Amino acid sequence: MYDLEAWTVETVNIDELYLQPQNITTWKNCMEIRYKKSNVNIRLWADYDLSLLERLMGDPAMTEHLGGPESSEKIRKRHARYCQDSISGKDPMFAVVLEPGNIAVGSIGYWEKEWQGQSVWETGWSILPEFQGNDIASRATALVVERARKEGKYRFLHAYPSTDNAASNAICRKAGFIFQGVFDFEYPPGNIMRCNDWDLDLFAEKPAAASANNSKAGQ
C-alpha cells in the first residue's frame, strides 16, 4: 500500500516551483493549490472534446441550473455543432484548459442572440466538479470578454444565469457585468427557468464599477 500523505509531501518537495510544502496537508489541498497556480487558457472546441462534453452536459449535478442532463444523442449533436462553429469561427465555443499540461476542465463560449430588438453576444460556462472553486471560470470569462471585445462585432455581452446559481452570478459580478433584471426563459422546451440578465459593455473603456443592484442580484 502507498502512503498517500508521504508520497504527496515527497512530490511537493520535488515540485517546489509550484508548491510550498508548509501549505500541503492533504492530496486535495495539494491539487487545489496547483490549479490556482495554473494558467487558465481557452482553445477552440475540437473533435476529441466529446468526452468532456458528456461529463459537462450529461450529469444531473452539472446541469441542475441548465434544465437537466441531456441525452447522449443531444450531446453528440451539440458536440458536432461546437466543432462546426469552431471551424467557421461563428459563435465560437472553447474548451477551458489548464497549463502546463493542457488539461481540459470545462467549456465556455459566446454566440449571437437577438435580445430586446438588438443583436448581442450571449456567453455561458461550465467547469468539471473536481476543478470548481479555483477561480477557473472567472479567469476563462475574462479571456472571453477580451476576445469578444477585440472582435468588435457587438457592443453587449449578456449572461443569463438562473437566479439561484450563486457561482454563475458571482462570476458576472466579478467580471464587471451589470445586472439588468429578472426574466423567465423556456429552456429546454417545457421547462421555465427564472434567470438574471447581466450585460457587459464591450465598447466601454473600463469595466463598470459594482453598483448596489449588482451586489444584490443572484444572492
Q: What is the DSSP letter of 63?
A: T
Task: Kindly state the cell numbers that stand for 153.
Answer: 462585432
For ligand COA, the closer of residues 86 and 131 by Cβ is 131
Asked if 146 and 176 count as a contact pair (C-beta separation under 8 A), the reply is no
Nearer to ligand COA, 87 or 166 (CB): 166
- The conformation of residue 187, written as its DSSP 8-state character, comes to -
The binding site for ligand COA (CB under 6 A) comprises 62, 65-66, 124-127, 132-138, 161, 165-168, 170-171, 174
Q: How far apart are CA 75 and CA 81, in angstroms?
A: 10
CB of 13 to ligand COA, least distance (A): 28
Using the Cα atoms of residue 63, residue 69, residue 72 and residue 77 in order, give the sign of their dihedral. negative
Looking at beta carbons only, is 9 or 41 nearer to ligand COA? 41
Report, in Å, the least distance between residue 16 CB and ligand COA.
Answer: 25
Is the distance from CB of 49 to CB of 82 less than 8 angstroms? yes
Shortest gap between Cβ of 200 and ligand COA (angstroms)?
Answer: 14
Q: Nearest approach, Cβ of 5 to ligand COA (angstroms)?
A: 26
